[in-house]
Amino acid sequence: MTLSAMIFFGIGATVLWGGLLTTIIISMKKDDYSEKSEIQN
């Protein structure tokens, strides 16, 4: 595997994992927010 291919796959993997983690964090924050709003009601 050439250096450019390794860099390309490295960036791709970083973007994919970053998007996955961001989605998980956002969904967790939404769950916390919905739980708080249910308690207030």
Q: What is the pLDDT of residue 41?
A: 60
Number of H helices, E strands in the chain: 1, 0
Residue 1: which pLDDT band, with cuts at 50, 70 and 90? confident
The model carries a pTM of 0.55
Q: What is the pLDDT of residue 34?
A: 72
Q: What is the pLDDT of residue 2?
A: 94
Q: What is the pLDDT of residue 32?
A: 78
The two three-digit tokens of residue 9, written as one number: 């796959």
pLDDT tens by residue, 6-36: 999 999 999 999 999 999 999 988 887 776 7
Q: How far is CA 19 from the centre of its chain?
A: 4
